[in-house]
């Protein structure tokens, strides 16, 4: 008997200290026991709940919709003696006195489970409540963001149609006046520049939206362990958001605003590895072969972007060989002399490595070939449209190279990619080592962010990592906080409202508090910042993952003594739009 009493006491202690919101009800809905978490959520004590009716302690009016749904669920449990779930319902939950008191709008869902005695009669009801306010808020935010993106897409389509109509009208007018080839090329460049500006602006806005979506998904994913269904949904949502980041990067490549990560490359090695993958992806009807020149000069370029460009050219070639054919990727060295520069004034003279992508497809006329690099241009002879070749051209322009095309109807097409020969020593591209998960700490971090939603996300991420978090909406408030609080690290957006921006705040704080660690961030890609302007401060580009933030903070805060100026890696440099 004594052993049973001890076991009952242990179970009761386990129940009361359980992290979930649990209530044990009698069949007449009298409260028999509650967990500590439930008492805290109701802003009262266990003694204030036990012995009272459930609907006497709920924050809502008993006649309200939420209470009615709960009452019907409990009635079904009593009648059918089977578990019954209640969908998320809105409640006016009490707010802690430290947060201002009163009530706040929360969403709770419940699961009511019957406990039967030996004769099969209802003995108790286990009432389990789960706060899903943030999940409901996230769904609403995602729906609003989706509507906003749809509006932006509709606007983009309208702008594209207007652009095409304007381009056709300009072509008609200029053809009447016999415009020469040089003026036609200038006109095409201006149209491309306008679309580049539009694409870059859309990419920036898209990045800002993704920053909020990814931050919220990271927070929800962190708290969803143990719920396989929710975890799967969050992982799918995160995968879609990261695909959105890739789309934004493609738009930036077209707009020539994407930050490249150049490295010394062996082009023959890169092409050989890529050809194996293309052989599988292009299908059995396309034969892929290589024609690689020996002793090829080294170049410096972004390996990921170069692979993406060659793969895009291969995809265009496949579209032109619907009945099958042959794709040849070749390499060779070439010196571009004054004669070549005379015909191509936008190119600099010198040594280049050429990558040729040739197909035996349908080919195209000279009229079509002269326009294939125009954004969104498509024709029956080319088969594919969109930004593909425009992005290739943009990447090569950023890399100091260029691209040309030659095609004959019924014979095929050859695209030549030119990359300048490497004249200085550079490190060869290396695989990025896997980074283990980084834990947080207990230091104090001051977050300066004018976007209230993003500030809330960062605050919660840092709080869950164990940090003490202070926050400010702009630089002047941040300076006042630094004067009154001991802060270990300042995390500020570069673009902030007010008389001084985040960069000026960082410089002022570094001068006044030399031991303060400073981390900068920004999602505005047109901001022109070079390494000298950063003064050795670390930089984390938006949108970033929770793991990236955690790892960067831990690296910075683990350094003892005053913060020294730190050399920047390519991944940490702010994304800068090219001059000119």
Mean pLDDT estimate for the chain: 76
- Is 367 in contact with 407 (CB distance < 8 Å)? no
Query: Which pLDDT score is estimated for 386?
Result: 44
Query: Which pLDDT score is estimated for 367?
Result: 80
Query: Which pLDDT score is estimated for 333?
Result: 93
Q: Kindly list the domain boundaries of the chain, sorted by start residue.
A: 15-131, 135-255, 263-420, 444-572
Q: Which CATH number fits domain 15-131: 3.30.559.10, 3.40.50.11540, 3.30.450.20, 3.30.110.60?
A: 3.30.450.20
Query: Which pLDDT score is estimated for 511?
Result: 92
CA pair distance 389, 403, nearest whole angstrom? 9
Tokens (6 digits) for 560: 């003892």
Mean pLDDT in residue range 287-294: 89
Among residues of the chain, what percentage have pLDDT more than 90?
Answer: 17
Burial readout 129-149 (b: 16 or more C-beta within 10 A, e: otherwise): bebbbebbebeeebeeeeeee
Q: Residue 375: CA atoms inside 13 Å, Cβ hemisphere, count?
A: 24
421, pLDDT greater than 70: yes
Other beta carbons less than 10 A from residue 79's beta carbon: 10
410: left (phi over 0), alpha (psi -120 to 50) or beta: left
Which residue did the predictor score with more confidence, 427 or 538? 538
Give the three-class secondary structure for 441.
coil
Architecture of domain 263-420: 2-Layer Sandwich (3.30)
CA pair distance 509, 170, nearest whole angstrom? 54
Of the listed ranges 189-193, 228-232, 366-370, the least confidently predicted one is 189-193
485, pLDDT greater than 90: yes
Q: Which of 580, 579, 575 is nearest to 252 (CA)?
A: 575
- Is 29 in contact with 74 (CB distance < 8 Å)? yes
Strand duo 350-359 + 412-420: pairing:
antiparallel
Architecture of domain 444-572: 3-Layer(aba) Sandwich (3.40)
Of the listed ranges 30-34, 127-131, 199-203, the least confidently predicted one is 199-203
Mean pLDDT in residue range 150-163: 74
29: left (phi over 0), alpha (psi -120 to 50) or beta: left
Residue-wise pLDDT for 516-567, tens only, equals 999 998 765 434 444 445 667 888 877 778 888 899 999 898 876 544 444 3
């Amino acid at each position: 008997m004594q052993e049973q009493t001890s076991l009952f006491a242990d179970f009761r202690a386990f129940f009361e200290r359980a992290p979930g919101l649990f209530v044990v009800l009698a069949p007449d809905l009298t409260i028999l026991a509650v967990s500590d978490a439930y008492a805290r959520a109701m802003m009262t004590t266990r003694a204030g709940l036990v012995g009272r009716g459930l609907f006497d302690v709920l924050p809502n009016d008993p006649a309200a919709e939420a209470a009615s749904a709960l009452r019907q669920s409990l009635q079904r449990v009593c009648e059918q003696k089977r578990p019954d779930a209640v969908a998320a319902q809105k409640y006016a939950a009490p707010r802690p006195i430290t947060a201002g008191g009163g009530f706040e709008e929360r969403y709770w869902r419940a699961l009511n489970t019957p406990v039967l005695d030996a004769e099969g009669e209802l003995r108790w009801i286990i009432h389990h409540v789960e706060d899903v306010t943030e999940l409901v808020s996230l769904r609403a935010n995602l729906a609003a963001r989706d509507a906003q993106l749809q509006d932006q897409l509709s606007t983009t389509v309208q702008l594209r149609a207007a652009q095409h109509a304007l381009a056709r009208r300009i072509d008609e007018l200029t053809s009447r006046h016999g415009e020469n080839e040089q003026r036609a090329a200038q006109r095409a460049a201006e149209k491309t520049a306008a679309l580049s500006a539009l694409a870059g602006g859309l990419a920036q806005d898209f990045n800002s939206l993704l920053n909020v979506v990814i931050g919220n998904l990271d927070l929800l994913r962190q708290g969803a362990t143990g719920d396989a269904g929710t975890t799967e949904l969050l992982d799918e949502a995160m995968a879609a958001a990261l695909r959105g980041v890739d789309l934004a990067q493609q738009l930036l490549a077209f707009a020539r605003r994407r930050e490249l990560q150049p490295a010394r490359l062996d082009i023959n090695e890169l092409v050989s590895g890529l050809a194996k993958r293309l052989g599988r992806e292009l299908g059995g009807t396309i034969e892929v072969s290589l024609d690689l020149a020996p002793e090829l000069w080294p170049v410096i370029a972004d390996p990921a972007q170069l692979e993406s460009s060659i793969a895009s050219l291969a995809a265009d070639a496949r579209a032109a060989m619907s009945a099958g054919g042959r794709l040849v990727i070749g390499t060779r060295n070439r010196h571009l002399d004054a004669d070549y520069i005379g015909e191509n004034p936008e190119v600099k003279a010198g040594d280049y490595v050429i990558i040729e992508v040739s197909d035996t497809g349908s080919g195209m006329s000279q009229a079509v070939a002269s326009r294939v690099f125009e954004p969104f241009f498509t024709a029956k002879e080319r088969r594919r449209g969109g930004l593909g070749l425009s992005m290739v051209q943009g990447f090569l322009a950023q890399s100091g190279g260029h691209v040309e095309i030659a095609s004959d109807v019924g014979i095929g097409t050859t695209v030549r990619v030119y990359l300048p020969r490497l004249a200085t020593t550079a490190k060869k591209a290396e695989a990025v080592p896997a980074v283990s998960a980084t834990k947080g700490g207990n230091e104090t971090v001051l977050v300066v962010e004018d976007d209230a939603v993003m500030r809330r996300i960062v605050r919660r991420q840092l709080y869950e990592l164990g940090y003490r978090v202070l926050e400010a909406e702009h630089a002047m408030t941040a300076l006042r906080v630094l004067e009154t609080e001991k802060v270990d690290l300042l995390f500020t957006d570069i673009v902030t409202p007010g008389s001084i921006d985040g960069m000026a705040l960082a410089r002022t704080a570094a001068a006044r508090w030399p031991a303060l660690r400073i981390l900068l961030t920004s999602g505005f890609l047109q901001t022109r910042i070079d390494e000298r302007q950063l003064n050795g401060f670390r930089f984390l580009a938006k949108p970033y993952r929770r793991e990236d933030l955690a790892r960067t903070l831990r690296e910075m805060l683990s350094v003892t003594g005053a913060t020294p100026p730190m050399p920047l890696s390519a991944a940490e440099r702010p994304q800068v739009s090219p001059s000119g």
